[in-house]
Structures are given as C-alpha cells and as structure tokens.
Amino acid sequence: MNEKNTRKLLELLEENASLKPEQVAVMLGEKCEDVQATIASLEKQGIIKGYKALIDWDKTDRDLVNARIEIKVTPKANMGFEEIAYTISQFREVETCYLMSGGYDLALTISGKSFKDIALFVAHRLAPLDPVQSTSTHFVLRKYKERGIMMVEDFEDEREVTSL
Amino acid sequence: MIDYNRVLSRTTQEIQPSGIRKFFDIAAEMDDVISLGVGEPDFKTPWCIRKAGIESLEKGHTWYTANAGLAALRVEIANYLKRRFSLEYRPKEEIFVTVGGSEAIDLAVRALVNPGDEVLIPEPSFVCYNPITRLAGGVPVPIATRAEDHFRLTPEQLKAALTPRTKLLILPFPNNPTGGVMRQEHLEAIAQVLRGTDVMILSDEIYAELTYGGLRHVSIASVDGMWERTVVINGFSKAYAMTGWRLGYAAGPQPVIKQMIKLHQYAIMCAPTTSQYAAVEALRNCDDEIEAMCEQYDMRRRLLVDGFNRIGLTCFNPEGAFYAFPSIRSTGMRSGEFCMKLLEKERVAVVPGDAFGASGEGHVRVSYSYSINHLIEALKRIEHFVNELKA
C-alpha cells in the first residue's frame, strides 16, 4: 500500500478502530488482504499501539474520578527525564504521562475511585519519589471532548429538508 | 370569500411540487429516522471563510453591493475559473454573482427562451429545469440518460432530440442524482453535434469540484467552439460547503450575461453582501480545503457503492457529486414503494429516483454527505430490509 493510503488508513482507524478491514479496503480502493497485511505490519512496527473503546463512565454506576497532575522533577544525570517518566508511567492509575515545556515537567492524567483515592496516590506514591520536587493536582469536573469525540451532547444534524 | 383556485396563476398552479419534498414531509413525522436524503454537504463552511464573513460584518459592510456583485469577487471568480478549469472570462462583462446557482439557472433560461422554444433536459436530473422552462413559456424535452451509458448524454440522443425549435441544451454534470460525469471525450462528441447550430448550452457545474478517480472536471465551455454558446453556472454551496450562504454565479458571453443581469437587478438587486465577502476568501485561500473534503467524499462513495452492490442493489459507479443511484429493480418494487417501505420498516429515508424525472424510476438517490458511521448503520438497515424481502 502506498504512503498516502497508509496514512489514510491510520486516520480512519484513529477515528473508528472498529472499522473492518474489508470496509477500509473498499474506502481506500485496496484489496482486503493488503489492508490486513498493512495493519499487521503497522502493529508490528508499533505504529498502531492498540485499540480501545472510548467509554463515558459517568453514564454507568462505576465511580471514577479523573485528575490532571503537574509535576516538577529534578532530571537525573545521563538519564534526563526518561527514568522518572518511565517509573511514573508504570503506575496502573496513570493514564497519560507527557513531558512538557513550560512551567512544569511532567503532566499526568490519572483516575481513581474517589478524590481521596487520588489524593492518597499523590501523597503516597508520587510525592515520595526522589526526583519529584512538587506536584499540583487538578480534578476534572466535566469532560466535554475526549480524543476528538464530543462527550456532552450527541451530534445533531441541523440540515433541513430542501428540494434538490 | 376568495376562490384562490381562480385567482392564482394557472401556470404556477399546474407546476407539480417536488417529489423530494413530498416524501420528506412524511419522513419528518417519524422518529429515529436515519436520513440519506439531503443534498448538501455535512461539513461546516471552512473556518477561514466564516471568519471573513464575520469580519465583513464587524467592519460594517452591510450595504448592497453592485448588482453584478463585488468587483473583487468577480475578479476572483475569473481567476478561479481559469486556475481550475482553464476558462477565460472578463470579470466585468462576462461574470456576475447570483443567489445560489439556482437563481442563475432561472435567469439563464428566462434570458434565452421564447414561448414555444424547446429546452433539452437530460434526466434524471435536478428538479428545477423543467418548471423553470415552463414558467418561461418553453417546452421541456427530457432526454433519458441510461445506466449503461454511465448516465451520460450521448451524441446520438442529442441528435435525435434536436429540432428547428431547439433553443437550449441543459448540461447538468456532474449530475445530481446519478453521479454521472461527462469527460473531455464525451463533451467533444456533444460539441461535434452542436457546432454550426445556434443551440445554446446551460452548463450547470455546481458539483464541478466533486469528481473522483483522478480526473478533474472539464467544462464544455473549454471545448472548441462552445464558449460562445455556453452559460457556465457554478457556486459556492457544494464545493465550499456554503449552502446557507446562498451564493452562486454565471459566466458567459457578454450579450447573454447583460440580459441576465437586467433580470437579476429587477428580481433580486444583488446577492447577500456578507456572503460575497466570505466568498472572496474562499476563492483566494481554500483550494486545499475543498480537496480535503473531496477525499472524504471519495471514501464514503466507495463504501456506499460497494455496500449496495453487495446487498444486491446494483449500483452504477458514480464519478461525481455526492450521490449514489442504485437500481432497486431486483426487488420488483417501484421507486416510490421501495422508499416508503424502507422508511416504514427500517426508518431509512432515501429519495425515489422518479422525483428526478420519469427515467429515474427503478432507482433511488442516496446521498453520502454523511459520516462513515452513519452510512454504515444505514447500509446495515437497508441490507436487513432487502434480505427480509427475499425471505
């Protein structure tokens, strides 16, 4: 598959990972086997990292609290931020971990059952780590959009009936 | 008590309401209907165009423009037609701005047709040509295009339809509802028939930016000997997702355009000012945006056409616009019946093909200006419907 179609394939799957290879193949004008082979190769190369459903847990009875934590760290000689970022990423509660430019170094999003859960995680797991100088925790109050999908209201087609 | 049947114009009363309208009035009463019916882009107007509109309001550009449209816009239209379709028009004399392509169609027909003149209308096609012709006192002469000809107008058909009273040929390509397009060689063949005659052409190119398969749209006005007899009609609705801005234009020989502008200034005065400022931005900076939208349509088109063929509703491969026009003959139903039952049983709304002329019977028009998920769901329901019929 050429570069342009590989890129389109990735965009299609990024938007909707549940598209079947045969559907993608039709849309791109490729053979189904070629799409399957390309996907397999992209997975192998680590370009496609995984397939996850986007779930609005607020609509279920599961309690879930999300927070964003900004961390300042002391980088380690030779390792820079790699080691501490890797260590923090290992925690199950950590959903994203980014190295940032600007006023702090690492930005995390984490989830827990309750505010207390998250507070304890910060106090007991993050703060004691040697390179961590300070943390600043911000709780998520409402999610409007997640990974390109609106979380608050369904898309409504406003187009009215016209004769054409 | 006034008897309105007697006071209303007979000509107007005799004109049938559009079949699309009738059908969707029923659909609108139902819940959970998935529509594949609309004839406008699902994309919003690109932000830079909207911003240009907003800025024009902020600056207080709220007056009329010249009847023919903003001078800057007409210059940009001339540049655009040259850049995209190799068409040469002088912005001052040969181009003017209208309220959508629809107004331009109306004006062109009224400017050209005398009572009794014949107007050749390839069908299936957009619903306005026939009533507009009749309002001008002309005689609509439908030419039925066929799936086996890729819904193109053939030179043989054209030759057979020509009479000494033929005034105007409508060329509605890329075509709504079939998705048929006329490539260079097909236009050459049409030109061959028309050279040496006085037959004029109204080339409705509103879907010109939406052609698929690598080849760009060709305008008949760029074919040798055709410029002098052609009024090119285009607009911003489909290419730039600007339907609600109501902006189109006509380009053609000065004597025709001059008469059209005269009608325009009495009926309309000028197109909306805000829309015209926004359109200047569209033509200057949005070639990339329209190509990105076109790519999206192309993927949906393939998905839909493949889906219909798989379901057993044979679908001609549309090369333009954003409609598929599958045949529903295998179900043994007429178009209207098929659409009604599909709506009742599966809550999917598509348009009966005969709404676009008698020759559309046996087909339905399906728009793919919808998200991929929407299309997949609709296909699933249609498949279920067709399988139930077989059972």
Residue A9 lies in a domain: yes
d(CA A117, CA A114): 5
Question: In the numeric block, which tokens belong to residue B112?
Answer: 């050209």
Residues 6+ apart with CB under 8 A from B195: B225
State the helix-helix crossing angle for B273-285 and B71-85, rounded to 10 degrees.
40
Mean pLDDT value across residues B106-127: 97
Same domain, yes or no, for A78 and A133? yes
DSSP 8-state code for residue A123: I
Q: List chain B residues with CB under 8 Å of A24.
A: none
Q: List chain A residues with CB under 8 Å of B35.
A: 157
Mean pLDDT value across residues A62-82: 91
Q: Which of B305, B294, B114 lies closest to B216 in space, CA to CA?
A: B294
Handedness of CA A63, A69, A75, A81 (dihedral sign): positive
- Decide if B306 touches A, using CB distance below 8 A: yes
| CATH code, A23 | 1.10.10
Same domain, yes or no, for A40 and A61? no
Q: List chain A residues with CB under 8 Å of B42.
A: 157, 159
DSSP 8-state code for residue B136: T
Max CA separation in chain A (angstroms): 70
The two beta strands, B139-144 and B118-123, are parallel
Q: Which of B276, B247, B261, B361 lies closest to B64 in space, CA to CA?
A: B276
Same domain, yes or no, for A71 and A124? yes
Q: According to the model, what pLDDT value does residue B24 have? A: 79
Exposed/middle/buried for residue B13 (C-beta within 10 Å: 0-12, 13-18, 19+): exposed
Cross-chain CB nearest to B126 (options A23, A27, A164): A164
Please tell me the distance in Å from A89's CA to the nearest CA on chain B: 34
Query: Which secondary structure element, helix H or strand E, spans residue B179, and what is its range?
Result: none
Residue whose token pair is 């309002």: B135
Q: Are B194 and B226 in contact (CB under 8 A)?
A: yes
SS3 assignment, position B237: coil
Residue A122 lies in a domain: yes
pLDDT greater than 80 at residue A154: no
d(CA B337, CA B328): 10
d(CA B199, CA B162): 9
Q: Which residue of A has its CA nearest to B292?
A: A8
Res. A162 pLDDT band, cuts 50 70 90: confident
Instruction: Flag if B299 and A12 touch (Cβ within 8 Å).
Output: yes
Q: Which of B51, B87, B107, B134 lies closest to B271 in space, CA to CA?
A: B107
Please tell me the distance in Å from A126's CA to the nearest CA on chain B: 41
Same domain, yes or no, for A77 and A111? yes
Instruction: Flag if B299 and A27 touch (Cβ within 8 Å).
Output: yes
Residue A112 lies in a domain: yes
Res. B97 pLDDT band, cuts 50 70 90: very high
* Beta carbon pairs, A and B, within 8 Å: 50
Domains and CATH numbers, chain B: 4-45+289-390 (3.90.1150.10), 47-285 (3.40.640.10)
Residue A118 lies in a domain: yes
Share of chain B above pLDDT 90, in %: 92
Residue A152 lies in a domain: no
For the whole model, what pTM was predicted?
A: 0.89
Residues 6+ apart with CB under 8 A from A14: none
Q: Which residue of B has its CA nearest to A19?
A: B373
Residue A20 lies in a domain: yes
Residues 6+ apart with CB under 8 A from A163: B17, B18, B20, B21, B127
Q: According to the model, what pLDDT value does residue B147 have? A: 93
Q: List chain B residues with CB under 8 Å of A163.
A: 17-18, 20-21, 127
Cross-chain CB nearest to A164 (options B28, B176, B373): B176
Same domain, yes or no, for A39 and A64? no
Mean pLDDT value across residues B346-372: 95
Looking at the 3D structure of chain A, how many domains does it have? 2
Domain range for A23? 3-44
Name the percent of chain A in helix, strand, coil, to the closest 5: 35, 20, 45
Q: According to the model, what pLDDT value does residue B29 have? A: 83
Instruction: Flag if B38 and A162 touch (Cβ within 8 Å).
Output: yes
Write out the residues of chain A at the interface with chain B, using a CB-CB cutoff of 8 A: 8, 12, 15-16, 19, 23, 26-29, 155, 157, 159, 161-164
Please tell me the distance in Å from B263's CA to the nearest CA on chain A: 23
d(CA B308, CA B350): 13
Same domain, yes or no, for A10 and A79? no
d(CA A101, CA A84): 16
Instruction: Flag if B40 and A159 touch (Cβ within 8 Å).
Output: yes
Instruction: Flag if A161 and B127 touch (Cβ within 8 Å).
Output: no
pLDDT in tens, B15-51: 988 877 777 778 888 888 888 988 899 999 999 999 9
Same domain, yes or no, for A81 and A40? no
Q: Are A38 and A3 in contact (CB under 8 A)?
A: no
- Decide if B215 touches A, using CB distance below 8 A: no
Q: Are B170 and B200 in contact (CB under 8 A)?
A: no
Same domain, yes or no, for A14 and A62? no
Interface of B with A in 163-192 (CB under 8 A): 176
* Site from B175, B233, B372 to mutate, A interface, most A CB atoms within 10 angstroms: B372
ipTM of the complex: 0.74
Burial state string for B353-376 with b = 16 or more CB within 10 A and e = fewer than 16: bbbbbebbbbbbbbbbbbbbebbb
Q: Which of A77, A131, A81 lies closest to A101 in space, CA to CA?
A: A81
Instruction: Flag if B28 and A161 touch (Cβ within 8 Å).
Output: yes
Question: In the numeric block, which tokens belong to residue A127?
Answer: 């703060």
Residue type for B254, please?
Q
Residue A151 lies in a domain: no
Please tell me the distance in Å from B90's CA to the nearest CA on chain A: 31
The residue ranges of DSSP E strands in A12-163, in sequence order, are 65-73, 94-99, 106-112, 132-139, 145-146, 149-150
Same domain, yes or no, for A28 and A92? no
Res. A164 pLDDT band, cuts 50 70 90: low
pLDDT greater than 80 at residue A161: no
| CATH code, A125 | 3.30.70.920
Question: In the numeric block, which tokens belong to residue B235?
Answer: 């607009």
Same domain, yes or no, for A14 and A66? no
Res. A157 pLDDT band, cuts 50 70 90: confident
Residue A25 lies in a domain: yes
Listing DSSP states for B192-220 in one string gives HHHTTS--EEEEE-TTTT-B-SSPPP--G
Residue type for B195, please?
R
| Rounded CA Rg of chain B | 21
Same domain, yes or no, for A29 and A69? no
Please tell me the distance in Å from B1's CA to the nearest CA on chain A: 32
- Decide if B126 touches A, using CB distance below 8 A: yes
Q: Which of A117, B254, A118, A116 lies closest to A108 in space, CA to CA?
A: A118
Q: Are B366 and B375 in contact (CB under 8 A)?
A: no
Same domain, yes or no, for A73 and A129? yes
d(CA A91, CA B74): 62
Q: Which residue of A has its CA nearest to B20?
A: A163
Mean pLDDT value across residues B230-241: 97
SS3 assignment, position B184: helix
User: What is chain B's mean pLDDT, rounded?
Assistant: 95
Residue whose token pair is 């809550």: B347
